[in-house]
Amino acid sequence: MRDDPDGRLELSARTYHGPVGNAPRHLPFRRAALSFMRWQVGRGVLAAIDATPPGSPWWRAVNERLLRDGCEAVARSGGMGGRPSSHAVDLWMLFVADPTARTWYRAHNASIASAYLDHRDLADTESRPERFFLNVVLLRVLFAHALVAAPRLALGRLAPAGPLLGDPRLSMTGIFLSLSRVLPDRYPLGDDVAAYVAAEHNLGEMLDYGLIGPRLQQLYEWSADELDEPRLLDCIRDGSPIYAWSYTDRDVWHPARPPAAIRAVRRFVPARR
């Protein structure tokens, strides 16, 4: 299973069917989870380490944590006892008991955040562009959660639209979680971060730099509290993501002369002071 990307995908899908294969209230949430995983499989990051080209030790480890937590939650909902292996599993059990958009994001993002933090050493071995995009992926999933659970933080005056836009059961969430709009569809990447940033789709650019960027410090602080994961604050500094990324290279997050579209988004939906 570990070296079988399609097997990982199948296992993820099965966790949303529950311990007896009948979980109609949980099943719709697999849309977002499987979309995220299909992108990983297609990009090749979950391939075996000895494959040609090889997969990514970091992506494999993070995905494995998410699968493990989900499988443990299914086993517990089926009667398995003992102490939960992590706080994230506790949150998955809350989702099992009450499947809502907020409980799903808390569980999913707690697994993702803890995996990020526990595998920082593997992240450090990735290429510079990959490390840049690891930060983009993290801020995107945190923002999607905030759309549902803290819509005023995420959207300001447009807050009433947040829960609908962020609902993982709906296709609109793909606007925020579709990483194919952010990352190239191959692995590994080259060494030129600027080239990848310049190639980002207009919608993704407006989202990352116009809408999310001005809120980053508040977003990470809120997420650390929401997920009960204070270590997340080690991934942000003065509004600049620093997961496996040097603070001295923070200019990449704050373009000196942002395009007109980004400036317009910032004016229309200003960050909360």
Q: Say if 261 falls within a structural domain.
A: yes
Domain that holds residue 217: 5-268
* The pLDDT value given to residue 176: 60
Please say whether the beta carbons of 212 and 85 come within 8 A: no
* The pLDDT value given to residue 203: 74
H or E element, residue 237: strand 236-237
Question: 């990449």: which residue's tokens?
Answer: 252
* The pLDDT value given to residue 205: 82
Residues belonging to the chain: 273
* The pLDDT value given to residue 142: 97
Q: Say if 46 falls within a structural domain.
A: yes
Please say whether the beta carbons of 64 and 2 come within 8 A: yes
Helix residue ranges, H only, 55-190: 57-77, 87-97, 101-118, 120-123, 128-149, 151-155, 162-166, 174-177
3-state secondary structure of 236: strand
Q: How far apart are CA 47 and CA 64, in angstroms?
A: 12
Global pTM value: 0.94
Q: Say if 191 falls within a structural domain.
A: yes
* The pLDDT value given to residue 186: 82
Q: Which residues of the chain have pLDDT under 50?
A: none
The domain tally of the chain equals: 1
Q: Say if 217 falls within a structural domain.
A: yes
Q: Say if 273 falls within a structural domain.
A: no
Q: Say if 122 falls within a structural domain.
A: yes
Q: Say if 174 falls within a structural domain.
A: yes
Q: Say if 242 falls within a structural domain.
A: yes
